């Protein structure tokens, strides 16, 4: 038996997940909060104000059932701060929100464009 060959094969297999992950751009890959975001429904919102530097956005939103929140206007943190550049004040959006470590985060954004 040639064990070095087997060892090399196992090493190559072990590296595969990292290789495929590294191939993704990463900016839009919903890997970290995928489990909770998948169950969070899209809700309607109206963008009131954007703070791109802080990655925060003020949204007048409809009820968000997955976190038991009634309609209101409030500040959310964007899961991906680059989304701030896609948003405009006065824009109607559909988004998903979730509570992560006591912070309310926009986990998914479906722009109107």
Stretch that binds Cu ion, among 2-10, 14-22, 28-36, 61-69 (CB under 5 A): 61-69
Per DSSP, 91 falls in state -
Q: What share of the chain is helix, strand, coil (3-state, %, to 5)?
A: 30, 35, 30
Residue placing its CB nearer to Cu ion in the complex, 75 or 89:
75
Residue placing its CB nearer to Cu ion in the complex, 33 or 60:
60
CA 16 remoteness from chain centre: 25
DSSP state string for 96-108: EEEEETTEEEEEE
The answer to the question of residue 74 lying near Cu ion (CB under 5 A) is yes
The answer to the question of residue 89 lying near Cu ion (CB under 5 A) is no
Stretch that binds Cu ion, among 4-12, 22-30, 36-44, 64-72 (CB under 5 A): 64-72
Residue selected from 6, 72, 75, 89 as contacting Cu ion according to rule CB under 5 A:
72
The answer to the question of residue 69 lying near Cu ion (CB under 5 A) is yes
Query: Token digits for 46?
Result: 């109206």
**Minimum separation from the CB atom of position 32 to Cu ion (A):** 22
No. of H helices and E strands in the chain? 2, 5
């Amino acid at each position: 038996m040639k064990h070095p060959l087997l060892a090399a094969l196992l090493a190559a297999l072990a590296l595969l997940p990292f290789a495929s992950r590294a191939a993704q751009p990463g900016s839009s890959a919903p890997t970290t909060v995928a489990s909770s975001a998948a169950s969070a429904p899209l809700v309607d919102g109206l963008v009131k104000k954007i703070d791109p530097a802080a990655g925060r956005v003020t949204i007048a939103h409809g009820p968000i059932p997955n976190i038991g929140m009634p309609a209101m206007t409030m500040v959310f943190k964007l899961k991906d701060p680059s989304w701030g550049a896609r948003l405009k004040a006065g824009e109607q959006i559909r988004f998903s929100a979730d509570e992560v470590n006591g912070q309310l985060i926009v986990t998914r954004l479906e722009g109107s464009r």
